[in-house]
Structure 1
Amino acid sequence: MKGLYCRASASDAEPEFVIQDTVSVLCSHQVRVQVKACGLSPLDLKLLGDMGMLRDLIPVGREIAGVVLQGHKHSFHSLIKPLQTHPINTQGNFICVFFCFCSAVQKPEKLSSVCVAGGLRDGLCAYTALHTHAHMAAGHTLLVMDGASSFGLMCVQLASYHGVKVLTTSHTPQTHTFLEQLRPSVAKVIPVYKDSSDLLSVVLEETGGLGVDIIIDSGVRLQEESSEGMKLLPHKHDIISVLGVGGHWVTSHKDLQLDPPDCRLLHLKSASVTFLNSEVWTMSSAQQGRYLHILKDIVEKMSTGVLRPQPEEAVPLYEATVAMETVQRQQKKKAVVQL
């Protein structure tokens, strides 16, 4: 059998992705899944190192849509494999995972495997950010940074479904046109590629000077002077300034540093900052029941058209190494392997 692996480097060099021979034997506590499609997302090698899971060869591809052939119900399922598990293999496109650690939900027949594999992780992150962290409710105002990204698009659609007023930013003229087509789901699209300093004035104008209830970022600038690629990201002070009283800032920035004036401003607004870790559900087994409920709700919303992930062009397995290198390098990009 062959599987897609990441060969992590001890230096700062980019990781290498290879298709490697592997052996997988089904035991009594495992399920055998015939994979139809698999989503590829960036690997967080630092997180794996912190968890003591960093190995010479790390299995890649954990958002799976396929048929459970042995060990559970024989039907189409969608699942996110745990951090430490076996990879895809090419001999019949099977995987074997411990059922007590994987999280599988029934996939509606009308929903394609590629769609599920491409949108399951982003839907989970959006659900976690809006419901678990921000306690979203009808009537709230939400600011989504980079709403045209795969994660941002899921946040926009999920919030709009629950009656939230959505503001978002666009990073290019093309994404601005795309987001404008989402009206009335999006109340205002703010083009930060022209001048990022307009963010504060536009948001305060849209909210009557009160600020937004929820902010979900896609990265922030910690300093005024930054590289060319960071100029589209909002400065941390701007985010705190547009946050309303009692608001929630959900950040995916792993190394966020707040200075005393920033903390003082958050204190005056009685606002909160929470960190979005997409792996938190699979790192702990304490809330597996709640996790399965979230996955089921996401799949149901996909089948009814409430959540429509960005269409990803599926690639065959022999192109998976090149696709994964692109995903890892660009970080926010996704890819889907169809088998």
Structure 2
Amino acid sequence: MRTVRLNVSEDGTQSQLVYTDDAPVLSARAGHVLVDVKACGLSPLNHKALVAMNDSNSDLPVGFEISGIVKEIGPEVTSVQVGDAVTGILPLSSECSGCADECEISEFAVVNKPESVNHITAAGAILPGVWAYTALRYQGHITAGDTVLICDGATANGIIAIQLAQRWGAKVMATAANQVEADFLEKLEPSIAAVINMSKTKSLIETCLAETGGLGVDCVIDQGVEMVSSGERYSELVLSSLSHSGEGEVTKRRPITKHDIISILGFGGRWVTSTGQLQLDPPDSQFLFMKGAAVSFLFDNIWVLSGAQQGKYLHIIQDLMEKLQKEELRPTIHHTLMLPDVTSELERLSPHLIGKVVMRT
């Protein structure tokens, strides 16, 4: 069997992606199903989380967002049958990779895939969809009429978040790092209330306050912020981070700072952040306190770390599949590739691509 694994050194400081075509053949344990993988969405590897969830193992899984056909069911499985088309997310502690010919997954971690939704679309939408659904519904508590700012709106996560927020009646603004991303966002239907090109705007704060009549936004969803306090100047930031725009153009990305976000939040605003190492200084906390604002941390794998909220998790995935079937959600697939090409792709995969990269078998 073909598969891709991540080999990590004993001290966790070095890692190497490895492709093999002679991995042991899998079988389904009790409560699990064996899936013939047809597609797997690719995301930049979170090495820290992978090592933390597999601390006694140096051979780690690669690829978690799968769609395929049930090949075998284990004892006690009742929710799916052999031959069913399913999609789901493998846990970080999975013994098998999603980037493989086959993978074993709990029957309670998959849902049936609608026939009209192809495997590439399902695999490309499931993790961005769970990310966006969690941010908007469970942490941002978005309701009709709210104003939402989605940072890096042209990414796979951002695109789905924009569509969900619009579907739920919110006024959506989104940031773009450059003109290529801005052009992409301006062509989305239905149109976004405001596309903020960070390479051209002088001040994110002024732009957002102008768009909201000085009231500020109800919710901000970021995909990483700079650890810059309110007393530091933007000109003092070192713009050393380079990323590919998705059109062959290499551009510097102007960072969004925590001061930007805190300043544009309105009364009772909600800040949903993907920055795990967020540091708030006393002035930052005081500013948030005076606004009655809330900060939530968004980790897209949280639902598969515990079975305590399994019902909500399955509801999210089922609702996403229904929305894909009805074309209420339209993920953007940046490109697809074959299984042997996964190692080289992941080594250079940027989190800022326009859309999603998907492996197909």
TM-score (norm 2): 0.87
The correspondence for 2:281, drawn from 234, 247, 259, is 259
The reply on whether 1:87 has 2:97 as its aligned counterpart is: yes
Q: Aligned partners of 2:304 and 2:352: how far apart in 1?
A: 20
| Deviation by residue 1:63-119 (Cα, 9 ceiling, x = unmatched) | 1111112213231111111222212586xx3222343xx511111111110011111
The correspondence for 2:179, drawn from 152, 173, 183, is 173
Per the alignment, in what secondary structure is the counterpart of residue 312 of structure 1?
Answer: strand
8 Å CA contact 1:53–1:84 kept in 2: the answer is no
Q: CA deviation at 1:326?
A: 2.0
1:76 aligned residue: 85
Per the alignment, in what secondary structure is the counterpart of residue 289 of structure 1?
Answer: helix
| Deviation by residue 1:153-210 (Cα, 9 ceiling, x = unmatched) | 1111110111100111111111111111125430011111124x42111111111100
Q: Aligned partners of 2:162 and 2:259: how far apart in 1?
A: 23
The reply on whether 1:218 has 2:223 as its aligned counterpart is: yes
| Counterpart residue type for residue 44 of structure 2 | P
Q: Aligned partners of 1:8 and 1:41: how far apart in 2?
A: 18
Q: Aligned partners of 2:16 and 2:118: how far apart in 1?
A: 30
Q: Aligned partners of 1:226 and 1:65: how far apart in 2?
A: 41
Q: CA deviation at 1:335?
A: 2.3
Q: Aligned partners of 1:152 and 1:294: how far apart in 2?
A: 17
RMSD: 2.0
* Count of residues in Structure 1 that have an aligned counterpart in Structure 2: 332
- Give the direction of change, closer, same or farther, for the CA distance of 1:144–1:14 in structure 2 (3 Å limit): farther
| Deviation by residue 1:217-267 (Cα, 9 ceiling, x = unmatched) | 121111243221466221211211100000100000111111111111100
Q: Aligned partners of 2:270 and 2:98: how far apart in 1?
A: 39
The correspondence for 1:130, drawn from 130, 136, 141, is 136
Q: Aligned partners of 1:208 and 1:184: how far apart in 2?
A: 22
Per the alignment, in what secondary structure is the counterpart of residue 313 of structure 1?
Answer: strand
1:243 aligned residue: 265
Q: Aligned partners of 1:229 and 1:130: how far apart in 2?
A: 31
- Give the direction of change, closer, same or farther, for the CA distance of 1:28–1:240 in structure 2 (3 Å limit): closer
Per the alignment, in what secondary structure is the counterpart of residue 5 of structure 1?
Answer: strand
Q: Aligned partners of 1:283 and 1:274: how far apart in 2?
A: 18
The reply on whether 1:16 has 2:16 as its aligned counterpart is: yes
2:197 aligned residue: 191
The reply on whether 1:228 has 2:228 as its aligned counterpart is: no
| Deviation by residue 1:101-157 (Cα, 9 ceiling, x = unmatched) | x51111111111001111110010000000000110000000111111111111111
| Mapping for residues 98-137 of structure 1, pairs under 5 Å | 98-99=106-107, 103-137=109-143
- Give the direction of change, closer, same or farther, for the CA distance of 1:134–1:89 in structure 2 (3 Å limit): closer
TM-score (norm 1): 0.92
Segments of 5+ residues of structure 2 without an aligned counterpart are: 74-79, 242-252
The reply on whether 1:278 has 2:288 as its aligned counterpart is: no
Per the alignment, in what secondary structure is the counterpart of residue 333 of structure 2?
Answer: coil
Q: Percent identity?
A: 39
Per the alignment, in what secondary structure is the counterpart of residue 138 of structure 1?
Answer: coil
- Give the direction of change, closer, same or farther, for the CA distance of 1:216–1:109 in structure 2 (3 Å limit): same
8 Å CA contact 2:62–2:99 kept in 1: the answer is no
1:27 aligned residue: 29
Per the alignment, in what secondary structure is the counterpart of residue 215 of structure 1?
Answer: strand
Per the alignment, in what secondary structure is the counterpart of residue 57 of structure 2?
Answer: coil
- Give the direction of change, closer, same or farther, for the CA distance of 1:175–1:297 in structure 2 (3 Å limit): same
- Give the direction of change, closer, same or farther, for the CA distance of 1:25–1:108 in structure 2 (3 Å limit): closer
Q: CA deviation at 1:314?
A: 1.4
2:43 aligned residue: 41
| Counterpart residue type for residue 358 of structure 2 | V
Segments of 5+ residues of structure 1 without an aligned counterpart are: none
8 Å CA contact 1:323–1:335 kept in 2: the answer is no
| Counterpart residue type for residue 198 of structure 1 | S
8 Å CA contact 1:78–1:116 kept in 2: the answer is yes
- Give the direction of change, closer, same or farther, for the CA distance of 1:270–1:83 in structure 2 (3 Å limit): same
1:60 aligned residue: 62
Q: Aligned partners of 1:218 and 1:160: how far apart in 2?
A: 19
The reply on whether 1:5 has 2:5 as its aligned counterpart is: yes
Q: Aligned partners of 1:241 and 1:146: how far apart in 2?
A: 18
The reply on whether 1:326 has 2:332 as its aligned counterpart is: no
